Amino acid sequence: MTSVQFYHNAGDPLALACELIGKAHHGGRKAIVINPNAAAAQRLDHQLWTAEPGSFIPHVMNGSPLAAETPIIIGIAGETQWPHTDLLFNLAAEIPSGCERFRMVIEIIGRTEAERQPARMRWMHYKQQQFLLKAFDAEHRIAL
């Protein structure tokens, strides 16, 4: 069954995503990261190269010939074909297509109402699907 973790109140959702992706990778996990658009995907790509000096998180854009053998895949909302189904990080406002195929979905939500409102709708969708839900305050690093 798919479990979903919501990280609310993120001051910098992209930085938090990079941190959590790094932890997942170092723990041997594979991850798909869905972005709202191509520009956001490029920002994430750049951030993963520069986030932690001296660390390397192997990643490629979805559709790359190396995607099947790369642990972190950067994609864009609306894409539906993924090379693996372990973790799904959702940085987009939409419910990720095919999210039920993943072991875990990680939702990172910023502080604005424009980010919170779509997150509430996603929470309700996941709840209706009977996914296991957990919520965390990203700023204070506590469970809610």
Task: Tell me the CATH number at 92.
Answer: 3.40.50.10110
- Yes or no: say if 79 and 41 are a contact pair by the CB < 8 Å rule: no
Q: Which pTM does this prediction carry? A: 0.94
Q: Which domain holds residue 65?
A: 3-143
Structural domains in the chain (count):
1
Q: What does the DSSP assignment read for 25-39?
A: HHTT--EEEEESSHH
- Hunting for tokens 């990261």 — which residue is that? 33
pLDDT band at residue 50 using 50, 70 and 90 as cut-offs:
confident
Provide the sign of the torsion angle of the four alpha carbons 78, 68, 25, 1, taken in this order.
positive
| Integer Cα distance of 112 and 110 in angstroms | 6
Mean pLDDT over residues 49-57, rounded?
74
pLDDT, average across residues 21-39: 96
Rounded CA separation 17/31 (Å) = 11
CA distance 72 to 61: 9
**pLDDT above 90 for 52:** no
